[in-house]
Structure formats: structure tokens, C-alpha cells
């Protein structure tokens, strides 16, 4: 595979992940329209699925694709951020985007008539962005960041019906328990870096 092709495929993976984020931002900034953002959210995740299908067809059972860019430097330590695409990651990209599309389609009926429907579509977009970013990142620190976003967007979705005390309590419980687990995750990342001097997967 030529270098320019690798760069293009990496860019497509980034686009696939960021399309749901565009949905999140667009719906929050412009919460109008008959579907209150539903059509826009579905179109964005559909594009992510289409790109995921193309990436799966292009990279399945081929050598891993790895693109890195300088992120920041602390003292003598250099941290990079990048995209890592192998058979497992493109499979997960396909699974996440396809299941997310099914959830979006199901939600058009299940959530119909809700007065805060635009917030639901926005939160769902943030969740999908977090999940897609999780499966294509190439280092543990970025993985941790996306995992925290998954936890935050889960908190928003679980507590979506904030007028119900049960939903509010459930979202708080899930948020606190996840943060306790994430503390162990963070400690593990620190141990890995102290032993190997890198966070690259």
C-alpha cells in the first residue's frame, strides 16, 4: 500500500469518528426542525458506517496501518497521537457504526414526541464519537480520554429523563462507579509508562 493511500485511509477513519461529533455540535447549536435533529444524526452515523465498510474492505487481513503525529512534549518525553488500523480495529469500527445506526433508527420511534428529543440525539452523537475514537486510537492516553468520554456520554444518556428520580439516581451511581474503575485504569497506564517509557499500543 502506498504511503499516500495509508494517509487517505487514516483520514477516512478520523472522518468516520468525527461525523457523530459533528452531529452532537450541530444539533446543540441548531436544535430546530421537524425531527429535532434525528435526520441529521442518522445521516452522520450512516456516513460513518459507509466509511467503515470501505475501511473494512480495504484493510481486512492486510498489514496494520499506523499513522502518528506529534502531540506535545514534556521535558525529554515526546507524546504522539495517531491512528492504528488493523483487522480488529476495522472490524470494531464496522460493528460500532452499524449497531449505532440501528439504535438511531429504533430511537426515531421509541423517542418520538419527547420534548427534549434534540438533546437525546446530541448525546447519542457524543457517545458514538467516543466509541469510534476508542477503537482507532494508537496510544493508552488517548484510549483513556475516549473511555472517559464514553463514561460521560453514558451518564448523560442514562440520566436523560432527569425529571425521574430513578433515572437521576441511576446516572449518578453509574458515573461514580465508573470513575472508581477508571482510577485503576489510570494507575495502570502510569505503571506501564514507568516501566516501558511509552504509551503506544
- pLDDT score of 1 more than 50: no
Burial of 69 (0-12, 13-18, 19+ CB in 10 A): exposed
Beta strands in 25-76 (DSSP E): 65-74
**Position of cell 483487522?**
87
The rounded distance, in Å, linking the Cα atoms of 32 and 40 is 11
Q: Give the per-residue pLDDT at 167.
A: 83
Picking from 11, 2, 25, 22, the residue whose alpha carbon sits closest to that of residue 136 is 11
pTM (2 decimals)?
Answer: 0.90
Q: Give the per-residue pLDDT at 137.
A: 95
Q: Give the per-residue pLDDT at 174.
A: 87
Per-residue pLDDT, averaged over 68-74, amounts to 86
Picking from 65, 83, 179, 196, the residue whose alpha carbon sits closest to that of residue 138 is 83
Q: Give the per-residue pLDDT at 4.
A: 47
The rounded distance, in Å, linking the Cα atoms of 61 and 91 is 11
Q: Give the per-residue pLDDT at 3.
A: 45
The rounded distance, in Å, linking the Cα atoms of 68 and 198 is 14
State the DSSP H helix or E strand holding residue 155, giving kind and residue range, or none if neither: helix 140-158
- Per residue in 26-41, pLDDT tens? 998 886 665 578 999 9
Q: Which residue has the higher pLDDT, 74 or 5?
A: 74
The rounded distance, in Å, linking the Cα atoms of 127 and 146 is 10
- pLDDT score of 2 more than 60: no
Q: Give the per-residue pLDDT at 32.
A: 67
For helices 38-59 and 117-136, give the axis angle rounded to 10 degrees: 10
Query: Cell digits for 25?
Result: 455540535
C-alpha distance from residue 173 to each of 6, 85, 159, 166, 168 (Å): 43, 35, 10, 10, 9
- Per residue in 79-127, pLDDT tens? 888 999 999 999 999 999 999 999 999 999 998 888 888 899 999 999 9
- pLDDT score of 57 more than 80: yes
Determine what percent of the chain is predicted with pLDDT higher than 90. 65
Per-residue pLDDT, averaged over 181-185, amounts to 91
Per-residue pLDDT, averaged over 180-191, amounts to 92
Amino acid at each position: 500500500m502506498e504511503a499516500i493511500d495509508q494517509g487517505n485511509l487514516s483520514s477516512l477513519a478520523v472522518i468516520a469518528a468525527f461525523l457523530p461529533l459533528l452531529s452532537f455540535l450541530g444539533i446543540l447549536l441548531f436544535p430546530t426542525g421537524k425531527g429535532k435533529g434525528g435526520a441529521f444524526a442518522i445521516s452522520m452515523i450512516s456516513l460513518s458506517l459507509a466509511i467503515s465498510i470501505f475501511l473494512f474492505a480495504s484493510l481486512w487481513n492486510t498489514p496494520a496501518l499506523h499513522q502518528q503525529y506529534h502531540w506535545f512534549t514534556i521535558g525529554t518525553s515526546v507524546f504522539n497521537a495517531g491512528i492504528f488500523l488493523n483487522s480488529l480495529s476495522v472490524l470494531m469500527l464496522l460493528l460500532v457504526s452499524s449497531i449505532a445506526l440501528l439504535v438511531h433508527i429504533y430511537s426515531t420511534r421509541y423517542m418520538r414526541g419527547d420534548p427534549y428529543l434534540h438533546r437525546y440525539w446530541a448525546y447519542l452523537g457524543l457517545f458514538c464519537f467516543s466509541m469510534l475514537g476508542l477503537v482507532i486510537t494508537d496510544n493508552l492516553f488517548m484510549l483513556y480520554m475516549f473511555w472517559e468520554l464514553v463514561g460521560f456520554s453514558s451518564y448523560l444518556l442514562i440520566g436523560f429523563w432527569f425529571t425521574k428520580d430513578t433515572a437521576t439516581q441511576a446516572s449518578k451511581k453509574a458515573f461514580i462507579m465508573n470513575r472508581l474503575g477508571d482510577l485503576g485504569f489510570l494507575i495502570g497506564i502510569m505503571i506501564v509508562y514507568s516501566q516501558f517509557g511509552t504509551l503506544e499500543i
